[in-house]
Structure 1
């Protein structure tokens, strides 16, 4: 611990912590209806701490407590992805944590490579989706090289560990005694890494939809999504109205996907962002993207059998529209080049080199393609110790959704094995990210107020399985 703090102070001496000035501002993504009052600023840090002459600016926002009894342990909100910027991601969610505001600040820092912290992003069009997943095509090679060469960054230094050193610099610059951490999805890796690198800087931790430190992101995507889809279809089978309306919806899904593999469908769709009509080729990958995104929340899980049935009976527009909206959202909110930098350093080297699976939702050559892409991307593979389970006695609350298609409850159980002061709550019928749903903000607030107290989670009994949409008018109760 002493070594870590010394390193932090050493490089700060050549940084610009004194330049950190917070001014009133409004935060919220461009084009959204969110406009939240905050105080914003930038902190200049070295891109490569061994060569501090080249710097980048970290964008941060603080929702300030006005209490005369304010505590010096703010809640630091860690976004997921990899590739989401914290400021825009949490701008519309700060009211969920408002019960903490009487006595604590809320702090959001765009991870280097995201948001307004030297973002690393390359455009992906719907037309690119198929060629970029084809191992036998040269298109993905050209796209990857062009993307990398277009970046004003040394991609070797856009990793989780560097992001945590940035956050420690922010803590010191703000004069914060300790953080309370809330991380969702990939944000839980950042939280676990912070706990490991600077344990004395952390008071309590909430891990929402947990990525265990030893997990190589992407390795389990196929198994996890299949598990969620299978459970959704089984629930439909057991639901009289859903079963009567759609029959064997799972087989219909496979039939439709197999058909797209042989013959993609050309559609003319209205782009929800621009309002213009576009000609879109609906491929198998395009449809899988929609199914995956629909699996994230209970509201959209209930649409899956209907969406599959419509697509399999000559009406694929609904699924295609959803894929287009997801693609637009990913292009706007996710910095895909930062994702490449993180995964090529921290995940892909720890994956199998062959998928060894036929009829895979994500493609039969997924792992081979990911390894090949990373061979074209400048990165430094993390030491094996980075992937070791994080051992800690910091009070930690782990949250999972029962049907999470990305980070199932088993991931949290795995991480919890080496967290000696932790508890794990599973929300029935929920998907990915549960800390903002139902009564969970109150549970999270109670935990952060007193991390050592016995936590009352009885309100979670109100969670239940989702309802299925029998038609586009809504679910049939």
Structure 2
């Protein structure tokens, strides 16, 4: 069913700008502007917010009427700075297409929703309904200049439709990564005529409640990493049973967290830091996202289990600090409390689990103090579509494994699914995949040449801290 288009300011004036992540030195020439929309799209007289829009223009005089729009993940990730490099690369591969990025409302520079906190403030929390945690949640919500009920996926898609109309774009070619695939599927469901092609990378099926399968997905990836280590003669000889060493180390942290002094990855100043079991699991989860960091896992758990936990702790500190800094946590709460937590299974098997009972308790308890409206149950129905769609997966993705894409594929009648062997979460930028993505956008009905995907390698293991074995 097509959603009713809400009114928005028709004016979107673009001026020359540069986009990119300042911390990485990325700077891409673009045109930027702000589109004003009502916070409550059903009430044009409600508070007005501005959507941050960036366009990397085509070099040709008469670009194609369809454009590529990039949908960021998270939830909570802004699209403009996150996708600057991808937009530049796509504009070179697709010289006749405009590349568009829109910071989802509540992210980037589109009325961002974020509450600051020290990363280790909640790492040792065992009671997520304690007065301290409840007060932080209430203070966070009260500090926001926003009605958090109106920061959900469906409303974000209505925003995107307004941007399409304001830019005079006939149809989109959408690329969504991770949570961005939910936005893509929702767009396909609500405005099918607005979409020419869809590329969904790291697919989150509409019927899936985010976090419900985090445990099994992460365990499967780690089991594969440890299996590959056992099958690698050098890794096996160096580390032995690395999987059991991981469980032994996590058990020791359960009994006694380790206090240490580490340099803060942002400020560089040394801080007293407590390595807890939860923080170690979070670090391992982040390492499982890419084949480069997967290859470090046996080494780091072996060192940690032999009284050298600083390496795992510092790496986890760096990775999670970057993740925390780049996500708008209050927007993430607004999305998951409306679209995911109400649909989590009532019973979770947490025996022999990595996350334990506290993870799901945390997910549920946060939403008790957040103002949100649960989406209609139909939001979680599988999306049926005949739009030309390319589904992409990494073989060892710890968050959105290939099985998720296969689930979405069941109701997409004009779709194909490619699995990048040996890869993790998000693969469109790996190896030859940009050329495959480009070929699909150019000729979605033509058979894709995927022979180059045979060149993907399995993760290379670090035998010491000098780097992976050759």
Q: TM-score range by the shorter chain?
A: over 0.9
In the alignment, the residues of structure 2 paired with residue 21 and residue 363 of structure 1 have an alpha-carbon distance, to the nearest angstrom, of 50
The residue correspondences of 1:57-96 to structure 2 (distance < 5 A) are: 57-96=50-89
Any idea what SS the aligned residue of 2:39 has? strand
Structure 1 counterpart of 2:229: 236
Structure 2 counterpart of 1:343: 336
Q: Larger deviation: 316-325 or 406-415?
A: 316-325
Counterpart pick for 1:361 among 354, 363, 382: 354
Any idea what SS the aligned residue of 1:278 has? strand
Contact kept, 8 Å, 2:258 with 2:275, in 1: the verdict is: yes
Counterpart pick for 1:279 among 251, 262, 272: 272
Note the C-alpha offset of 1:131.
Answer: 4.3
Contact kept, 8 Å, 2:261 with 2:272, in 1: the verdict is: yes
Give unpaired runs (5+ residues) of structure 1. Answer: none
Note the C-alpha offset of 1:404.
Answer: 0.3
The residue correspondences of 1:182-201 to structure 2 (distance < 5 A) are: 182-201=175-194
Are 1:27 and 2:19 matched, yes or no?
yes
Structure 2 counterpart of 1:50: 42
Cα 1:344/1:132, change in 2 over 3 Å: farther
Task: Give CA-to-partner distance per residue, 1:58-91, whole Å, 9 cap, x none.
Answer: 0010000021241011100000000100001101
Aligned pair count? 469
RMSD: 1.4
Contact kept, 8 Å, 1:78 with 1:181, in 2: the verdict is: yes
Structure 1 counterpart of 2:200: 207
Are 1:41 and 2:41 matched, yes or no?
no
Note the C-alpha offset of 1:329.
Answer: 1.0
In the alignment, the residues of structure 2 paired with residue 410 and residue 138 of structure 1 have an alpha-carbon distance, to the nearest angstrom, of 40
In the alignment, the residues of structure 2 paired with residue 231 and residue 74 of structure 1 have an alpha-carbon distance, to the nearest angstrom, of 39
In the alignment, the residues of structure 2 paired with residue 398 and residue 336 of structure 1 have an alpha-carbon distance, to the nearest angstrom, of 27
In the alignment, the residues of structure 1 paired with residue 125 and residue 169 of structure 2 have an alpha-carbon distance, to the nearest angstrom, of 44
The residue correspondences of 1:7-18 to structure 2 (distance < 5 A) are: 7-8=4-5, 11-12=6-7, 15-18=8-11
Any idea what SS the aligned residue of 1:315 has? coil
Note the C-alpha offset of 1:366.
Answer: 2.6
Task: Give CA-to-partner distance per residue, 1:328-355, whole Å, 9 cap, x none.
Answer: 2123210111111100100011102343
Note the C-alpha offset of 1:401.
Answer: 0.3
Any idea what SS the aligned residue of 1:44 has? strand
The residue correspondences of 1:243-322 to structure 2 (distance < 5 A) are: 243-322=236-315
Contact kept, 8 Å, 2:389 with 2:416, in 1: the verdict is: yes
In the alignment, the residues of structure 1 paired with residue 312 and residue 265 of structure 2 have an alpha-carbon distance, to the nearest angstrom, of 14
In the alignment, the residues of structure 2 paired with residue 314 and residue 136 of structure 1 have an alpha-carbon distance, to the nearest angstrom, of 34
In the alignment, the residues of structure 2 paired with residue 119 and residue 341 of structure 1 have an alpha-carbon distance, to the nearest angstrom, of 12
In the alignment, the residues of structure 2 paired with residue 221 and residue 389 of structure 1 have an alpha-carbon distance, to the nearest angstrom, of 20
In the alignment, the residues of structure 1 paired with residue 148 and residue 100 of structure 2 have an alpha-carbon distance, to the nearest angstrom, of 26
Q: Larger deviation: 372-381 or 410-419?
A: 372-381
Are 1:403 and 2:396 matched, yes or no?
yes
TM-score of the two chains, using structure 2 as the length reference? 0.97
In the alignment, the residues of structure 1 paired with residue 26 and residue 116 of structure 2 have an alpha-carbon distance, to the nearest angstrom, of 24
Contact kept, 8 Å, 1:64 with 1:101, in 2: the verdict is: no
Task: Give CA-to-partner distance per residue, 1:420-450, whole Å, 9 cap, x none.
Answer: 0000000000000001000000000000001
Counterpart pick for 2:385 among 381, 392, 404: 392
Note the C-alpha offset of 1:31.
Answer: 2.5
Cα 1:146/1:295, change in 2 over 3 Å: same
Structure 1 counterpart of 2:105: 112
Note the C-alpha offset of 1:325.
Answer: 1.2
Contact kept, 8 Å, 2:68 with 2:172, in 1: the verdict is: yes
Task: Give CA-to-partner distance per residue, 1:371-395, whole Å, 9 cap, x none.
Answer: 2221211111111111000000000
Contact kept, 8 Å, 2:28 with 2:88, in 1: the verdict is: no
Counterpart pick for 1:124 among 112, 117, 121: 117
Note the C-alpha offset of 1:139.
Answer: 2.8
Task: Give CA-to-partner distance per residue, 1:129-177, whole Å, 9 cap, x none.
Answer: 3245643633322221111111111000100000000000000000000
Structure 1 counterpart of 2:146: 153
Q: Larger deviation: 452-461 or 399-408?
A: 452-461
In the alignment, the residues of structure 2 paired with residue 273 and residue 369 of structure 1 have an alpha-carbon distance, to the nearest angstrom, of 26
Give unpaired runs (5+ residues) of structure 2. Answer: none
Q: Larger deviation: 315-324 or 395-404?
A: 315-324
Note the C-alpha offset of 1:359.
Answer: 4.0
TM-score of the two chains, using structure 1 as the length reference? 0.96
Note the C-alpha offset of 1:52.
Answer: 2.2
Structure 2 counterpart of 1:441: 434
Counterpart pick for 2:165 among 165, 168, 172: 172
Q: Larger deviation: 267-276 or 169-178?
A: 267-276
Q: Larger deviation: 131-140 or 203-212?
A: 131-140
Are 1:462 and 2:451 matched, yes or no?
no
